[in-house]
Amino acid sequence: MRWGARIHKEQDMAEEWRECNAVIRGTRLELCDHGPLTATVFIECAEGRIGFGQIGFDHLKEMRSGDTYEKWVPEGGACAYFLRRVLEVCREDVWENLKGKVVRLKLEGNASGTRIVAMGHVIEDNWFFIDDMKIPQTYGG
């Protein structure tokens, strides 16, 4: 199976998802507090502002006690795949140009916490389902 192939059946989850249009308000690539490389797309919709991504794209392989030595190992192309799929869905070539783009979202959750299941092109049937990456997505309520 190639990257991005649908792993779960949309019809099984459709009753739990709701769709809405949204606007990308910003993006961020950063090294988080504890060191992992992360990427986030900040999206505003009727439900509020939600981060899409927030994924650790590498993991700590080695750390020596009392030392500053750390060795971070990439998660098999996950960062490049995430960045590429977001750009493809938005039909954009430059990460910095995503701000202001209109997208569709598939959401799950309730008032105590909403999660973006997928981000899609505003008109075309082109969706990026984050769970297809097989990397845990962190999100808050």
Instruction: Measure the CA angle with vertex 95, ends 10 and 14; round to 5°.
Output: 10
HSE of 32, CA atoms in CB hemisphere, 13 A: 15
Compute the distance between CA of residue 58 and CA of residue 73 in angstroms, rounded to an integer: 5
Identify the pLDDT of residue 78: 77
**Other C-beta atoms lying within 10 Å of the C-beta of residue 137:** 16
pLDDT by 10s per residue, the chain, length 141:
223 333 334 444 444 788 999 999 999 988 777 677 788 899 999 888 888 886 667 666 666 655 555 666 666 577 788 888 999 999 999 999 999 999 999 988 766 677 889 999 999 999 999 887 765 444 443
Identify the pLDDT of residue 1: 25
Please say whether the beta carbons of 127 and 136 come within 8 A.
Answer: no
Model pTM score: 0.73
